[in-house]
A and B are shown apart, each in its own frame.
Chain A
Amino acid sequence: MNEITGNEIIHQYLRHNKKFPHVLCPGCGHGIVLGTLIRSIHSLNIPKDDVVIVAGIGCSGRLAVYVDFNTVHTTHGRALSFATGIKMANPKLNVITIMGDGDALSIGGNHLIHAARRNIGVTALILNNNIYGMTGGQSSPATPMGATTMTNPFGQLDKSFDTVELARGAGANYVARGTTFHVKKLEKVLTDAIERPGFSVVEAITPCHTQYGRKNKYKTPVDMYKWMKKAAIPVDRYNELSEAEKEDRLAIGVFVERDQPGFEERYFDLKAKLQAQEEKGGK
């Protein structure tokens, strides 16, 4: 297994009956995240039949169609509710949701906090490109304050969401953030997230040059990567910075590691207990 190269691994997991090319723009980071996801699943040796990719709507939602797993492309923001149903119906499956920032934090915000509260055994991969890309560059809840977008032509007025703090507060078992520049680190946290029981959230910062970058002083996709490289800092070093220094920086790494049992585990434990009681009562 180890001799084959990264590209060969990815090729093994792509759907060959799917009509390529894909929908993504040049300079988009989504393909890098998808490649990372494939390598993570491959490194865990999970059979393709046991993997379910549940995607929302938007550019990130389209990723599911290219990969040779069980794939479900759902409605906008609802991926986690479908994923919860699939996991509860068959807890043996590895369920991974792919959502965008608008998908997970805006229209699907309620599902995200309750999936975390419930601690359902699903991995939520959130591709944050700070914008609604597919619909043409409107503000998302992850658009930074002051940024120019199609729906905030005079600058974004409201604050952006911190996915990590939201997931932590709501009770997720595992919360991490990575970027498409720090691919190896992203692969590491994604692998950990899939392996860990309970609800895991991985936020992947990915550049959208087409709809976000070029309207916000990043002239080329390369400029966006330069920003990522400069801004990203491991979480332990980030925590040592002063509030002023934290301003333009982006903490990456693992933020939460808990070991609470997943909802499905608690539910099926309860069932077993009830059945044992019934058998005892019957005799």
Chain B
Amino acid sequence: MARRKKRKEIFALGNEAVVEGALLAGCSFYGGYPITPSSEIMEIMASKLPQTDDGVFIQMEDEIASMGAIIGASLAGRKVLTATSGPGFSLKQENLGYAVMAETPLVLVNVMRGGLSTGLPTCPGQGDVQQARWGTHGDHPIIVLSASNVQECLDMTITAFNMAEKYRTPVILLLDEITAHTREKIEIPYEGEFEVFSRTIPSMPPEWYKPYEETVRGVPPMPPIGSGYRFHVTGLTHDRNGFPTQRPEEVVELMDRLHRKIDQFFYDIQLVEEIQTEDADTVVIAYGCVARSAELAVQQARANGIKAGLLKLKTLFPYPRRQQEKIMANAKTIIVPELNMGQMSREVKRVNQGRASVRTINRIDGQIITPSEILKVIMQG
């Protein structure tokens, strides 16, 4: 009789859980540059990848080069990961845009630290949220995910890889210093318990292959470099063959498809967790470590007889508009606590359009927003 498959329990750091998730998702290439508070991801990869069958680890000379290396490896057929933090995230923006344009799957983890510029390297922050959405130049679609506890670090990393492969796009996973450096018990799912998606490779003969052809999903198949499908990859606006073009109709076709392939799958991409929102007239919308404080605050408010709920955002972009609209059927007050001056609350207000009262709690001193701070605002109504 086959042994019943069991989940393995480990006591792990958020950053460690990212590595576990990446390896489960099939990641076999890491290119990076050290930066606090993300370095553990790189360090653990440095010891694990050389011991796997085909794993490659490389420390590059800078953040820009790490992005270049993982894009190159992804084009050569690997599932790739890099991790960074604030200042490094800024440097990665150049090649991030390239990856969007060249439709290269990759996962970029940004462990957010406090402040702008060099800021507060060892403190938590959530100041890179809008940068994750708009950091690279030019109009572009992007998927941005987040995690609020160590288990979610693992789960969302797997999700990030699956989305990157499914939609041929870079996926950004935003953590914060607290989530990344929290150590707690997590369960590692067993093989077969979770979905692993790998990019579609072309089935037609090479001479028929058009690398950027329109497809139903808007996602063209992607062969690894060296497999007989010779084609041109470029960051220039290109036609269906991948050759640079300035013809307006070809430019529009490409840009439309790049956006459509993400937008039309909103139901698959926009992930949230609803906690006691069914009848809630006061709803907290939160993500990352702050969502954890918010969960406790909601429980305490319920104990005080207040109909409070939490909408935890796991996908930040494309913003889960429909899920917010759903909770707005009952919600009279929406509270958005975050470790910045109000970056996601902009999205919330945009969808709200004056219907509910939106209250923000912002902290930028490198400290977490506590449950009691959120509870106080809930109690004020």
Which residues does A use to contact B, with CB under 8 Å?
A: 15, 17-19, 48-50, 52, 54, 64-65, 68-75, 78, 80-90, 92-93, 110-111, 113-114, 267, 270-271, 274-275, 278
What residues of B have a CB within 8 angstroms of the CB of A74 in the complex?
68, 98, 235
What residues of A have a CB within 8 angstroms of the CB of B244 in the complex?
65
CB atoms of B58 and A84 under 8 A apart:
yes
Given A70-B231, A278-B51, are A84 and B69 neighbors across the interface (CB < 8 Å)? yes
A92 to B76 Cα, complex, angstroms: 11
Given A75-B98, A85-B69, are A64 and B232 neighbors across the interface (CB < 8 Å)? yes
A88 to B224 Cα, complex, angstroms: 14
A80 to B70 Cα, complex, angstroms: 12
CB distance from B129 to the nearest CB of A (A): 25
Shortest Cβ distance from B233 into A: residue: A72
CB atoms of B72 and A81 under 8 A apart:
yes
CB atoms of A70 and B230 under 8 A apart:
yes
CB atoms of B68 and A89 under 8 A apart:
no
CB atoms of B50 and A83 under 8 A apart:
no
CB atoms of B234 and A65 under 8 A apart:
yes
- Stretch in B10-18, B59-67, B116-124, B164-172 touching the partner: B59-67
Task: Find the residue from A19, A50, A73, A274 having the highest chain B CB count within 10 A.
Answer: A73
Selected A-B contacts with CB under 8 Å, 21 pairs: A17-B241, A49-B230, A54-B72, A65-B234, A70-B225, A75-B235, A81-B65, A83-B72, A84-B68, A85-B58, A85-B73, A85-B74, A86-B75, A86-B76, A87-B72, A88-B58, A88-B69, A88-B73, A90-B224, A271-B50, A275-B51
CB atoms of A267 and B65 under 8 A apart:
no
What residues of A have a CB within 8 angstroms of the CB of B80 in the complex?
85
What residues of B have a CB within 8 angstroms of the CB of A90 in the complex?
76-77, 224-226
CB atoms of B233 and A19 under 8 A apart:
no
CB atoms of B56 and A267 under 8 A apart:
yes
Q: How many positions in chain B have a CB within 8 Å of any CB in the partner chain?
A: 44
CB distance from B76 to the nearest CB of A (A): 4
CB atoms of A52 and B225 under 8 A apart:
yes
Shortest Cβ distance from B31 into A: residue: A85
CB atoms of B65 and A89 under 8 A apart:
no
Interface assignment of B305: CB less than 8 Å from any CB of chain A: no
Given A89-B56, A89-B78, are A114 and B243 neighbors across the interface (CB < 8 Å)? no
What residues of B have a CB within 8 angstroms of the CB of A92 in the complex?
226
Given A82-B72, A93-B76, are A65 and B232 neighbors across the interface (CB < 8 Å)? yes
What residues of B have a CB within 8 angstroms of the CB of A15 in the complex?
232
Partner of B29, one of A73, A88, A111, A114: A88
A111 to B31 Cα, complex, angstroms: 14
Interface assignment of B205: CB less than 8 Å from any CB of chain A: no
CB distance from A85 to the nearest CB of B (A): 3
A82 to B70 Cα, complex, angstroms: 7
CB atoms of A114 and B61 under 8 A apart:
yes
CB atoms of B94 and A75 under 8 A apart:
yes
What residues of A have a CB within 8 angstroms of the CB of B225 in the complex?
52, 70, 72, 86, 90, 93
CB atoms of B226 and A49 under 8 A apart:
yes
A50 to B76 Cα, complex, angstroms: 12
User: Given contacts A17-B241, A82-B71, A88-B58, could you give 11 more A-B pairs where the C-beta distance is less than 8 Å?
Assistant: A50-B226, A52-B226, A65-B232, A72-B234, A81-B66, A81-B68, A85-B71, A85-B73, A88-B29, A88-B56, A267-B58
Interface assignment of B248: CB less than 8 Å from any CB of chain A: no
